[in-house]
Amino acid sequence: LDYATLPSIHGRVCELMASLPVYDPASSLPPPSAVVDGLSDDTRRAQVYAEALQAHIEEFNLLLCCVGPATYQWNMNRSGKGEQSLTLLFNELHACQEYFASSISPRLTNVLAPVVDVATTSSTKTTSEDGRTVTKTNAFGRVLVDPDHVRLSTRVIARNAPILRRSVELNFGKAVKVLQDYMDTAKKDEESSSAYGAY
């Protein structure tokens, strides 16, 4: 893994875009969650999809953290046009990240991390042989605080999966285009500086 150059970052974003998950309502299910009681099969399918999509977004955001070091150059070594191009690059990449943070991640989080609480799931009473002592034993588990919200969030993911995927794909595509445009502009700027210095 070497994401110290823009071409390597660009290439990995292209790979992420090509491998975006597709929601399949008939997909096989993971084992039932040991953490939360009462998740339906539909919710677990939505969680698998949301987790895969979220993983792509997380890696994308981490790759964008590598853009700054990959483009670093002391300001005096960069032309005014190069500085403007760099500013535009960062603004456009930041817009992609902001879109994910405001429009995609909250929907995924509603399914991936539903609000749970610790509650008594069962209770048993035992009486001693002499009948004088009664012992009550409670079993606790993590249960959904608002199962209706989880069901609604699951339906939202299932219903909107194609457009969620497409909007992520379009923003990845925008990032790919912006990175390519910046690399092309930087190359032209470098060539014109070399040609100017040759006189």
Give residue-wise pLDDT tens across range 26-52.
887 766 655 555 678 888 889 999 999
Amino acid at 86: L
Tell me the average pLDDT of the chain.
88
Report the C-alpha gap between 194 and 24 in whole angstroms. 53
Cα torsion 19, 25, 31, 34 to 10°: value is: 100
> Residue 199 — very low, low, confident or very high, per pLDDT cuts 50/70/90?
very low
| Whole-prediction pTM | 0.80
pLDDT exceeds 80 at position 129: yes
Mean pLDDT, range 9-18, rounded to an integer: 97
Judged against a pLDDT cut of 90, whether residue 154 lies above it is answered with: yes
